[in-house]
Amino acid sequence: MDRRLSAMWHRRAQRSLVGGVNSPVRSFAAVETLPVFASRAKGPYLHDVDGNQYIDYLMSWGALLLGHASDAILQAVTEAAGRGTSYGLSTETETHFAEFITTAIPSIERLRLVSSGTEAVMSAVRLARGFTGRSKIIKFGGCYHGHSDGLLVKAGSGLATFGMPASSGVPSSFAAETLLAAYNDLDSVETLVKKWGNHIAAILVEPVAGNMGVVPPRKGFLEGLRKTCDRIGALLIFDEVITGFRVAWGGVQEYFGVRADLTALGKVIGGGLPLAAFGGRADVMEKLAPCGNVYQAGTLSGNPLAVSAGLAALDAIRKRDPYAELERRGQRLEEGLLNAAQQNGIPVHVNRVGSMLTLFFTDEPVVNRATSQRVNARRYAAFFRSMLDGGVLLPPSPWEAWFISATHGETEIVQTIDCASDAIGSAGNTHND
Ligand code: PMP
């Protein structure tokens, strides 16, 4: 497949944009190839600047549950733009939108709109600290919560009690407020709780992890976190930036029946525009300015184009109720990938919750960061490149979720499985060095 124009634009972009990208993973470094430059997209298909067409499983990193350029969203954004692009004042649309969310996720009694998942989680953490008067939070290795200072922390070593910053520029004193536990391991939480109990403001978790590849919570894990928070007077924060309106209308909280005190949302709720939110218990949320003394604000928060897109997305999702269909498509893709791997004698595991899944090149179940780090990353990179050449765009990293949209039909799934049957064979010749 010819991608000469993408290559040319990449060279040119590097002269003005850092690394030629506006978000690191777009560089395709993890899959050892040049990045694709997108030109347009519709439904499950994305076109690059060279005119190649791909079945897209990136779906703007999970933002597009209804597929690319859904008619309802286009119409809503166009109409909203005609009325003005930003006012910096309250609008009726924001309240309609907020009502959708409070109805869908009952633990969210009040919410605040922001523009990115990073802002949503960062603000929820500040609020939890303000509400409890405590400073430490527990996060889990392998979970990503945006790039705010204290959350850019992952397990440095098995012995680390305090978080080690995963980025230069994060003072270790900030990272020290973040305590690291292992995903799916309540004992690791208990060890931290024994030591820091009444200093812990919140436990923050991706209730289905999506950022070490998809890793579902073990039975009892989320319930255990809920109980621990209640016991020590900390807040439970679910980062549902990926899972909100993705795994079910009511997110993971509906899917697994565990209630959070605070929830961060993003991606799907914006219908592809910059929109995110955090919300939860009214008594906690009302600590936020102007009701309380925890400060948070934003010039473009509740931007009318973004909120109109989000409202149109949620309205269309509610009417269509795509979740059973997404589950069937997900199941079909999962089975197809497992069969393809088996026929080629390649060890893989597929983790899937509804329409989010990851194919891991590994012979052990992936249940946490340690097991996800042991996958054969070079094999995934080879697989990714073959799939791309076959017209299927996957996330350009072995540690990301693939997203199925409501526009991925039987045709696209079958084509993807056919392509994977060939690609897995060629990936099998790769070794992890
Ligand atoms: N939380 C989770 C679970 C995410 O997956 C992401 C982004 N992938 C974020 C937070 C940050 O969101 P954003 O990129 O919109 O800042």
SS (H, E, C) 117-135: HHHHHHHHHHHHHHHHCCC
Calculate the alpha carbon distances from 96 to 93, 288, 314 in Å: 5, 21, 11
Q: Which atom of ligand 1 sits closest to the CA of residue 240?
A: 3
Distance of CA 121 from the midpoint of ligand 1 (Å): 8
Cβ atoms within 10 Å of 290's Cβ, excluding its own:
8
Q: Which of 100-114, 153-167, 286-300, 316-330 has the lowest average pLDDT?
A: 153-167
- Mean of the pLDDT values across residues 375-386? 97
pTM over 0.75: yes
Q: Residue 98 carries which side chain, given as an amino acid letter?
A: A
Q: Which residues pair with 402 in a beta bridge?
A: 357
CB distance 368 to 141 below 8 Å: yes
Percent above pLDDT 70 for the chain? 97
Local structure of 108: helix, strand or coil: coil
pLDDT surpassing 50 at residue 16: yes
Residues contacting ligand 1 via CB (< 6 Å): 61, 116-118, 121, 144-146, 206, 210-211, 239, 241-242, 266, 276
CB distance 38 to 46 below 8 Å: yes
Distance of CA 266 from the midpoint of ligand 1 (Å): 7
Distance of CA 68 from the midpoint of ligand 1 (Å): 19
Element (H, E) at 54: strand 53-56
**Residue 164 has what pLDDT?**
67
The verdict on whether 230 is a catalytic residue reads no
* Counts of helices then strands in the chain (DSSP H, E): 15, 16
Distance of CA 409 to the CA centre of its chain: 23
Site to probe by mutation for ligand 1, drawn from 125, 152, 246, 267 as the one with most ligand atoms within 8 Å of Cβ, is 267
**Residue 404 has what pLDDT?**
98
Token pair belonging to 92: 């009726």
Q: Residue 289 carries which side chain, given as an amino acid letter?
A: A
The verdict on whether 261 is a catalytic residue reads no
Q: Give the residue carrying structure tokens 């350009």.
A: 396
**Residue 48 has what pLDDT?**
98
The verdict on whether 219 is a catalytic residue reads no
Distance of CA 194 from the midpoint of ligand 1 (Å): 30
Torsion of CA 419, 424, 427, 433, to 10 degrees: 140
Of 48, 56, 239, 261, which residue is the catalytic one?
239
